[in-house]
């Protein structure tokens, strides 16, 4: 199975936008340089060691999804039903409507890229989550 650096970048950008992580947040969380993070987000000049070093800082991010587009974006919850990372529910920093529109557009872009590559992504689960957020907003 080939690794597509641009797809990794799109998936990582989708994840970080969903989590509302800005570049300064990413630098603080990972200890990486802005150049390295931009390379990953843009899908160019990625070294596997750098990617692994960065991904390990995100407890809920499924590396199989990030690298290959397989499975869910998030790792499964533990036996107690707890997420690996504290939840930020109800704490959106951005305008909810604008945030949901942005995430929907990114999901469409990601889905189109995955379909073009011949992958069967787990987009339905992401779309359901966005619908759930939209319903909760109303």
Domain ranges of the chain: 5-137
Residues 6+ apart with CB under 8 A from 24: none
* Displacement of CA 17 from its chain's centroid (Å): 7
Report d(CA 101, CA 25) in Å as an integer.
22
* Residue 2: pLDDT over 90: no
* Residue 88: pLDDT over 50: no
Tally of CA atoms within 13 A in the half-sphere of 43 that contains its CB: 14
Q: What pLDDT does residue 89 have?
A: 42
Residue 74 three-state SS: strand
Cβ distance 35 to 58 under 8 Å? no
Tally of CA atoms within 13 A in the half-sphere of 35 that contains its CB: 2
Q: What pLDDT does residue 117 have?
A: 67
- The overall average pLDDT reported for the chain is 79
Percent residues over pLDDT 90 in the chain: 28
* Residue 12: pLDDT over 90: yes
Cβ distance 45 to 37 under 8 Å? no
The pair of structure tokens assigned to 82 is 């707890």
Q: What pLDDT does residue 119 have?
A: 57
Average pLDDT over residues 109-138: 72
Q: What pLDDT does residue 37 have?
A: 94
> What is the value of pTM for the model shown?
0.63
Question: Highest-confidence range of 9-23, 43-57, 96-110, by mean pLDDT?
Answer: 9-23
Q: What pLDDT does residue 121 have?
A: 53
- In tens, the pLDDT along 36-79 reads 999 999 988 888 888 888 999 998 999 989 988 888 888 876 55
Report d(CA 53, CA 35) in Å as an integer.
15
Name the residue with tokens 């990372």: 85
């Amino acid at each position: 199975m080939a690794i597509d650096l641009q797809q990794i970048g799109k998936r990582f950008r989708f994840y970080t936008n969903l989590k509302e992580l800005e570049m300064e947040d990413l630098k603080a969380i990972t200890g990486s340089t802005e150049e390295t993070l931009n390379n990953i987000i843009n899908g160019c000049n990625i070294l596997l060691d750098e990617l692994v070093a960065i991904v390990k800082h995100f407890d809920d991010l499924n590396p199989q999804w990030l690298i290959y587009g397989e499975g869910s974006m998030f790792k499964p919850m533990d036996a107690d039903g707890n997420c690996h990372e504290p939840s930020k529910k109800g704490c959106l920093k951005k305008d909810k409507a604008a945030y949901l529109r942005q995430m929907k557009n990114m999901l469409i872009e990601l889905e189109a890229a995955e379909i073009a590559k011949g992958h069967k992504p787990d987009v339905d689960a992401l779309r359901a989550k966005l619908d759930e957020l939209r319903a909760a907003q109303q």
